[in-house]
Amino acid sequence: MNIFYELHKEIPREGPGNNETTRKAYQTIEKFVSKPTILDIGCGPGMQTMELASLTDGKIIATDMNDGFLDELREKVNQQYFSNKVSVEKANMKSLPYSEGEFDVIWSEGAIYIIGYENGLKEWKRFLNEDGILVVSELSWLKENPPQEPVDFWKIAYPGADSINKNREKAEKHGYEVIDTIVLPESGWWEHYYTPLEKRISLFREKYQHNQKALNTLIEFQTEIDLYRNYSEYYGYVFYLLRKKS
């Protein structure tokens, strides 16, 4: 099994996030929609999908490219009797197999970076109906002039990272009105993501002590976690709540 997937398997989330912030974001956009059809892009193991399912009176299509995550989510959906509300489908966010205007809401937590924030805003817009809502969470700079160490790290790991103001401007440029932005609290990085990931890294250091390639991957993840531990005031995950302008 690929070390990346082995490391991430069995942790509750695939990126920073928590139910409280999913709920807060949904409750903010709720007044604009009724019985919405929601597309969840890059759902991973689906913590946010399940939270959305408990909040909405609409329907959700949860999509990802990883069969392991899709199976995991299908199981959760069945266990919690949400199969009348949630369908789980394999779909590539770069070539979505859906019709124009099919969705009232597109939701994507911690995944738009894969296609690029601006590109995602541009490409996904056509799948929203007139004045449909897009909610994405994206790594963003929270303060001006951050220290060199996180700047150097993210310049390589995610050169698209930008400030909240710049991301708001980009959304407006691509024809969205910004309803609100919400900064994920620090606990949302640790509880379901970095803390369980860090535990698995220590476990795997033992297992892969003679495999330098695997060890290098573990070191990369540990570096990312330590960086956040030291510089969390300078960057974070930000939810952008956007409405397509008609």
Ligand X SMILES: C[S@@+](CC[C@H](N)C(=O)[O-])C[C@H]1O[C@@H](n2cnc3c(N)ncnc32)[C@H](O)[C@@H]1O
Nearest distance, CB of residue 66 and ligand X, angstroms: 4
Name residue 237's beta-bridge partners.
139
* Residue partners of 182: CB distance under 8 A and separation at least 6: 21, 24, 25, 28, 238, 239, 241
> Nearest residue by C-beta to ligand X?
44
92 touches ligand X (CB under 6 A): yes
Neighbours of 233 (CB within 10 A): 10
69 vs 208, beta carbon nearer ligand X: 69
4 vs 165, beta carbon nearer ligand X: 4
Residues binding ligand X: what is the number (CB under 6 A)?
20
CA distance 15 to 190: 10
47 vs 128, beta carbon nearer ligand X: 47
Exposed / middle / buried, residue 70 (Cβ in 10 Å: 0-12, 13-18, 19+): buried
34 vs 99, beta carbon nearer ligand X: 99
Are the C-beta atoms of residues 138 and 109 closer than 8 Å to each other? Answer: no
Residues numbered 30-59 forming contacts with ligand X, rule: CB under 6 A: 42-44, 47-48
120 touches ligand X (CB under 6 A): no
Are the C-beta atoms of residues 142 and 212 closer than 8 Å to each other? Answer: no
With residue 238 as reference, give the H or E element that holds it: strand 235-244
Which ranges of 46-178 does DSSP label H, i.e. alpha helix?
47-55, 67-79, 117-124, 148-157, 164-173
Residues numbered 125-154 forming contacts with ligand X, rule: CB under 6 A: none
Q: Which stretch binds ligand X (CB under 6 A): 62-70, 124-132, 180-188, 202-210?
A: 62-70
86 touches ligand X (CB under 6 A): no
Nearest distance, CB of residue 148 and ligand X, angstroms: 26
238 touches ligand X (CB under 6 A): no
Q: Which residues bind ligand X (CB under 6 A)?
A: 13-15, 17, 42-44, 47-48, 64-66, 69, 92-94, 109-111, 114
